[in-house]
Amino acid sequence: MVDFADEIGTPLQLLYYPPYHGKYNPIERCWGILEQHWNGSLFGDLETLLRWAQSMTWKGINPIVHLNDKTYKKGVSLSKRDMADVERRLERNPLLQVGHFDSTY
């Protein structure tokens, strides 16, 4: 997100979903549709799994599916100085931070 904000030269506004409320998160809803599409199927190889994922539809469109085999390092964190630099490029809506939700959202 930070790289994207830098690329477009505009701060991003971060929106937070209530904890454990997947119905508000379109990615979680998409995973639910994918699980229904798979319907408990067992896949013998990775290529079949990727083709099956590409064949699902959600809201009338097929997802873009690709294998990400990059290994991410565990335990990587930013120093306070580096995080302050990141924070200057992001904009948080105080009404949408954890603990500020009500039924109007």
Per-domain residue ranges for the chain?
2-40+76-96
Which single residue is written with the structure tokens 């630099």? 85
Cα(21)–Cα(18) distance, rounded to whole angstroms? 6
Give yes or no for a contact between 89 and 6, defined as CB atoms under 8 angstroms apart: yes
Single pTM value for the model: 0.44
Please list the residues that pair with 61 across neighbouring strands. Answer: 58
Coil, strand, or helix at residue 55? helix
For each of the chain's 105 residues, which pLDDT tens digit applies? 788 888 998 888 777 666 666 666 677 777 778 888 888 888 889 998 898 889 888 778 888 888 988 998 888 888 999 988 888 877 777 776 555 444 444
Please list the residues that pair with 13 across neighbouring strands. Answer: 91
pLDDT of residue 81: 93
pLDDT of residue 89: 79
Cα(77)–Cα(51) distance, rounded to whole angstroms? 35
pLDDT of residue 21: 65
